[in-house]
Structure 1
Amino acid sequence: MPSKKAPNPIDVHVGSRVRLRRMMLGMSQEKLGESLGITFQQIQKYEKGTNRIGASRLQHISTVLKVPVSFFFEDAPGTPQEAMEASGTQPTSYVVDFLSSSEGLSLNKAFVRIEDARVRRRIVDLVRSLAGEEA
């Protein structure tokens, strides 16, 4: 039986950013799929990086999710070497996992509503301290 080719790290990254933004908006895979005229299963494949998102589809997704296309490439591995290194453990996967949890999503939504940058920095310092990490 032939082995399946591993997904391209950029496709995985873009898919994880689609999932991140969708979760931030509280939108289901089904709802995003309906907006794009595709199934939620296709959205699942995009989010896992199993299926590559074409340029016109990514433009449509960016419109539905109300972010610029560049959002999906933020922190993406830029060089082939970085892409190879990222194919192991995806550095942004813990962010997606965190924001996929109800606690993470609630914390993020509340945090972004705090307008004072000093207060936000103090909260980050507090959380680091509670986690036993130096600021």
Structure 2
Amino acid sequence: MPLDDATGPHPTDLAIGARIRLRRKSLGISQGALAERIGVTFQQVQKYERGTNRVSGSTLVAVAAALETTVGWLVGEESPAGGDAEAVLALLAAPGAQELLEAFAAIRRGSTRHALISLTREMAEHLGA
């Protein structure tokens, strides 16, 4: 497969970006702070997280150190939950997915969460997934 695929970001780049974002957010680090730690602009971190720019090997090592994880975890070689974790990370790569999940987790009432799930499924069915 050519590296300059015009159909959009490569799935591997999307998965690595999703892991970077997931780890950064779980540590409470802003894109700007991560950018400072690895010597790039926050816009570049955004592009890495979206998968629109590939992360070079040396930058991947710097990101792993800044996020206190391993390169293996960032590239998906270390995943204790196996394929399920990969599927979740792929879903979290969708624009707005993590924000939606964070907002959902903040809803305390189970009945409200259930109603939101029903509404979302209905919208996906009628508006197209």
Superposition TM-score, scaled by structure 1 size: 0.58
Counterparts of 2:65 and 2:77, CA distance in 1: 20
- Give the match's secondary structure for 1:51: coil
Counterparts of 1:4 and 1:92, CA distance in 2: 23
Equivalent of 2:26 in 24, 27, 35: 24
Distance 1:98 1:28, change over 3 A: same
Letter in 1 for 2:47: K
User: 1:101 Cα deviation (Å)?
Assistant: 1.9
Moved over 6 A (4+): none
Residue aligning to 1:43: 45
- Mapping for residues 1-135 of structure 1, pairs under 5 Å: 4-74=6-76, 91-95=88-92, 97-98=97-98, 101=102, 104=105
Show CA shifts across 1:97-122 (max 9, x none): 34762664x8xxxxxxxxxxxxxxxx
Aligned length: 95
Distance 1:67 1:47, change over 3 A: same
Q: Structure 2: any 5+ residue segments left out of the alignment? A: 79-85, 115-129
Superposition TM-score, scaled by structure 2 size: 0.60
Higher relative contact order (CA 8 A, sep 6+): 1
